[in-house]
Structure 1
Amino acid sequence: MKRSSIPVATGLYVNYLLFGMFNIMLASHMSFLTEHLHTDQAGISLLVSAMGFGRMFTLYISGVLSDRYGRKPFIVAAGLLMTVFLVGIPLSPTFEMAMVLAVLAGVANSFLDSGTYPALIEAFPQSSGSATVLVRGFISIGAAFLPLMIIFFMNHDIFYGFSFFIPALIFVLNAIYLFRMKFPDMRVQPTKGQSGGTSVSSAKQTGNLKENDPSKPRFWQEGVCLILLGFTGPTLLYIVQLWLPTFGQQFIGMTESESLRLLVYYNMGSLVSVFVLVIVLRKWVKPVHIILIYPCISLLAFGALLLFKSGAAAIICASVIGFSISGVLQLTLTVMSEFFSQRKGQITGFIYTATSLSYTLIPVFTGFLLKHSQISSVFMLAIIVNVLGIALAVFVNFRYSAVFPAKRELSPQIVLDTK
């Protein structure tokens, strides 16, 4: 690890700690915002969807421009745009203005991702996997801290907007800090073996295999399944982050502060999962196995959440769900890179487009579902999506055993992030 890059990396990690708060800000203030913006829960879910819309339509172009003009402008711009969103939402006079701010927040998200991950890889070319793994950890820390801050303000009758303003202030200060930093050379490439993925044989990479050879990766089979997993994984994540506090209040009968604590337990489970994955993927388990094992665990947890109607059960289930859906999206990308090692940029675009589609559609759909049904129906949807994810992962594992010799040891580095 290069010591000269640590100051820049510190600023990048601070951004993602704040992003952990930013990512659940609307869901955590559901009751406040519905009253302030004169809307309902479906309206707040529409704001979340608008964020996904802004991200989806700028993700690709921001990545291209980041390669051309450098990482710093986009990372700094992301911090400033997120500040505008965080300050603007509590002060917004109309719902329409809040929608505009939500789209800007989505743009900020795409700027942050397209600048930060390449910057970390360029800062630590010999340990790029470890450097990017930490991003997920900082997101979880921020997401766990926000509900505690909100509860403190509620207990002391402090205006809810301060939980927006404090992260906004830190975003501005961090943007100024990063603007003054010297970023690593964009021409630096990660050291072989550090950037992730274990390549298949040269014959498979070049496609010099017969078309009916079952050991050849097939995009329209495992490739499509992995892209669909790029939709199902984030769908579960967003359902939990957006509706878990509402579930706690309406289905279990928790108070508002108790239901917000469910997000703390969820994010603590997610944080534990990051460290577990770093250990087990290096020594015992392959990513392709995790994308099947984790959905099986989360399915049981979602079922128990609906079956056992108690606060204690909800806490346990929230922790297990956080543990078992954390990192599935990123490991899906890792597996996709193993199958199609010569098309990493292209397949990353495919998977994250599916992810952005989930972020755009699911808040709207679940908001509509809740408007015409009960909160339990939203979590029944999560179970259906979870079952679909398991079916897709079973097929991917079957194809993986055909494409890669079972006796060969694979130990790819993983790259974890939020969506």
Structure 2
Amino acid sequence: MKNPYLKMAMGLYFNYLLLGMVNVIIASNMNFLSQQLNTGSAEISFLISAIGIGKLVALSFSGRLSDKVGRKPLVVSASFIYVIFLVGIPLAPNYHVAFVFAIISGICNSIMDSGAYPALIDAFPKNSGSAMVLLKAFISFGATLLPILVVFIISNNLFYGFAFFVPAAAYLINGFFLTLAIFPKHNVGKYDYYSVDYSSIRKSFSIKPMFWREGIGVILIGFSSVALFMIIQTWLPTYGQQIVGLGKEAAVGLLSYYSIGGLISVLLLTILFKKGIKPITVMIVYPSIAFITLLAMLALPYRVVIMVCAFVLGFSTSGIFQLAVTIMAEFFPDTKGTSTAYVSIASSLAFIVIPFITGMMTKYFSVTSVFIFDLALAILTILLGINLSFRYKRVFNMH
């Protein structure tokens, strides 16, 4: 039987491909934006903090709105509103206007997450882990394409704004496509296609999951995992230029190596999950690989080494946040929209706090200090993953 939600899934995955482009679009155009807005790279990194502010504002209502009115209105609205951000940033006359457009981007991100995550979990309940990780595959693919587009624009002396206008047009078209797609019902516990009764999930609990215990653990990983990859996405080109001595095009190209690693990672995870590997295991192994890779990058700042490290960092930081969202939905199946929104709130705080902290660090110290800070975040993520693994086994009686 053909899944009636395949058209929806296609539209959602394409939206997240475009989101992958949006995630690295400011870092990839930091020099152009600095010139246009007459400010420094630290101030441009604060635009990413503005995205976090927008995410946090929207998450105060988007999760509950998703559970109340449904997933489709949120996803479609986000697709159209993203066009405002992507057209507005390269045409912004000053820093303050650009800051407002960045906040709009954050609002779109939260609205889209609150609709897309539970929609995919509802549409593919037997393969929710794979469905969520596949989101990260499309994000990684989009983040791979954007630096290539930027390098093409630089090489042909075109207006850098075309890097924004292309995904804007794509979001507009995909928004109309999603209006025609069928979404799962959001207000029932039993879904027609797979006839999955979520009461059976509740019965599988050996102990009842508590928000202050299991929920907080997932939320903290939502923060640390996003902070971990945000630093890499934002500052890797700067590290390549200032520490390794790469040219502008080669430095931006590091983001492509990073994104290719992420793409391969999530495709591998999809296979591993089908073979019975639990998402909770990945949430310990991946941050450990990231920690070792960051050490190597800091100890050996050479061209070949940083290219390899960019790839491995992309491989080892991809999908952790999406897996955290999946596990949160497993712990609290009755309120997926609201509970997963709390994880997204943590990611929003990372979007606000991390660019501000790292921007100040580069202003008063060097970009190397930023990646030392990232090492500490990797250790924190590993410890949180170990704790969450223990709680997961207790809740689902997996000892």
TM-score under structure 2 length normalisation:
0.90
Give the residue type in structure 2 aligned to 1:27: A
* 1:120 aligns to 2:120 (yes or no): yes
5 Å matches for 1:134-173? Answer: 134-173=134-173
Other-structure match for 2:94: 94
Counterpart contact for 1:200–1:341, Cα < 8 Å = no
Deviation at 1:221, TM superposition (A): 5.1
CA distance in 2, matches of 1:3, 1:342: 23
Give the residue type in structure 1 aligned to 2:59: L
CA distance in 2, matches of 1:352, 1:327: 14
Other-structure match for 2:63: 63
Give the residue type in structure 1 aligned to 2:257: Y
Report SS of the residue matched to 1:18: helix
Deviation at 1:153, TM superposition (A): 1.0
Other-structure match for 2:207: 204
Counterpart contact for 2:74–2:111, Cα < 8 Å = yes
CA distance in 1, matches of 2:260, 2:389: 29
* Cα distance change, pair 124–200 in 1 and its aligned pair in 2 (3 A): closer
Other-structure match for 2:363: 371
Deviation at 1:252, TM superposition (A): 0.5
CA distance in 1, matches of 2:178, 2:397: 46
Aligned counterpart in structure 2 of residue 232 of structure 1, from 224, 227, 232: 224
CA distance in 2, matches of 1:399, 1:253: 45
Deviation at 1:347, TM superposition (A): 4.1
Other-structure match for 1:356: 348
* Cα distance change, pair 91–337 in 1 and its aligned pair in 2 (3 A): closer
* Cα distance change, pair 277–166 in 1 and its aligned pair in 2 (3 A): same
CA distance in 2, matches of 1:144, 1:227: 28
Report Cα offsets for 1:187-235 as digits up to 9, x if no partner.
564546798x966755523xxxxxxxxxxx6655555343322211100
* 1:24 aligns to 2:16 (yes or no): no
Other-structure match for 1:37: 37
Aligned counterpart in structure 1 of residue 280 of structure 2, from 281, 284, 288: 288
Counterpart contact for 1:200–1:339, Cα < 8 Å = no
Deviation at 1:289, TM superposition (A): 2.1
Report SS of the residue matched to 1:167: helix
Q: Quick one: percent identity of the two aligned structures?
A: 42
Counterpart contact for 1:122–1:184, Cα < 8 Å = no
* 1:270 aligns to 2:262 (yes or no): yes
Report SS of the residue matched to 2:277: coil
Question: More helix by proportion, 1 or 2?
Answer: 2
* 1:308 aligns to 2:300 (yes or no): yes
Counterpart contact for 2:129–2:323, Cα < 8 Å = no
Counterpart contact for 2:62–2:341, Cα < 8 Å = no
CA distance in 1, matches of 2:133, 2:342: 21
More displaced stretch, 91-100 vs 349-358: 349-358
Deviation at 1:4, TM superposition (A): 4.5
CA distance in 2, matches of 1:344, 1:165: 34
Give the residue type in structure 2 aligned to 1:254: L
Deviation at 1:378, TM superposition (A): 0.4
* Cα distance change, pair 173–141 in 1 and its aligned pair in 2 (3 A): same
TM-score under structure 1 length normalisation:
0.86
Number of residue-to-residue matches in the alignment? 395
* Cα distance change, pair 358–202 in 1 and its aligned pair in 2 (3 A): closer
5 Å matches for 1:177-196? Answer: 177-179=177-179, 181-187=180-186, 189-190=190-191, 191=194
CA RMSD of aligned residues (A): 2.7
Other-structure match for 2:375: 383
Q: Which has the larger radius of gyration?
A: 1
